[in-house]
Amino acid sequence: MIPGDAGLPEEMRSAMIAHAAAAAPREACGLVAYDRSSRPVRLYRMTNVHPDPDRFEISPVEHFEVIQEAEERGWRIGAVYHSHPRGPARPSPADLRAGLDEDWISFVVGRRPGGWKVAPFLIRKETARRLAGPISLTRAPSPYQDVLS
Ligand SMILES: [Zn+2]
């Protein structure tokens, strides 16, 4: 496990950053599927359909397709990521109000001088909590249980 990355494999972290860089100046967004052992197994790049360049909304059609594919494989969606091409790697006030699934980890890909940074959060009741590591996901029935206990 990578401390502070909520168990995110390095290749997924790199993929999030690559997606963020490709989508800039618009925000990029995507989902992460977890297997039955709560290990992240697949990163899905999603289309951001929000009309505001500083916001994101996952394409509902793609969202539906990804949930179906994940269920067919015995996976489930456990995390969402999005980027802040001009902002820090932490949820914005709009993100806190967005009503994201409260069981998901929210990875925010922020930009700062010198590069991009990925940070994981739980957002509940419009409050963000930064996940810190090391976090073991493999024994937990959900990807955040160890963090909450
Ligand atoms: Zn945001």
Q: Would you write out the chain's pLDDT as a tens digit for each of its 149 residues?
A: 333 456 889 999 999 999 999 999 999 999 999 998 888 999 999 999 999 988 999 999 999 999 999 999 999 999 999 999 999 999 999 999 988 888 899 999 999 888 999 999 999 888 999 987 533 333 333 444 334 32
The catalytic residues are 27
The pLDDT assigned to 103 comes to 85
Using the mean position of ligand 1's atoms as its centre, give its distance from the Cα of residue 9 in Å.
22
The pLDDT assigned to 75 comes to 94
Using the mean position of ligand 1's atoms as its centre, give its distance from the Cα of residue 82 in Å.
6
Using the mean position of ligand 1's atoms as its centre, give its distance from the Cα of residue 135 in Å.
23
CA 109 to each of CA 37, 93, 134, 145: distance values in angstroms, whole numbers, following the listed order: 25, 15, 19, 23
DSSP string, 24-87: TTSPPEEEEEE-TTS-EEEEEEE-B--SSTT---B-HHHHHHHHHHHHHTT-EEEEEEEEETTS
Using the mean position of ligand 1's atoms as its centre, give its distance from the Cα of residue 91 in Å.
5
Spacing of C-alpha 17 from chain mean position = 11
Query: If we measure between CA atoms, which residue out of 48, 82, 78 comes closest to residue 62?
Result: 48
What six digits make up the tokens of 54?
């500083």
What six digits make up the tokens of 39?
């290990």
* CATH topology classification for 10-148: Cytidine Deaminase; domain 2 (3.40.140)
Using the mean position of ligand 1's atoms as its centre, give its distance from the Cα of residue 74 in Å.
29
Measured from the Cβ of residue 73, the count of other Cβ atoms closer than 10 Å reads 12
Using the mean position of ligand 1's atoms as its centre, give its distance from the Cα of residue 94 in Å.
7
Question: What's this model's pTM, rounded to 2 decimal places?
Answer: 0.85
Q: What radius of gyration do the chain's Cα atoms show?
A: 14
The pLDDT assigned to 132 comes to 74
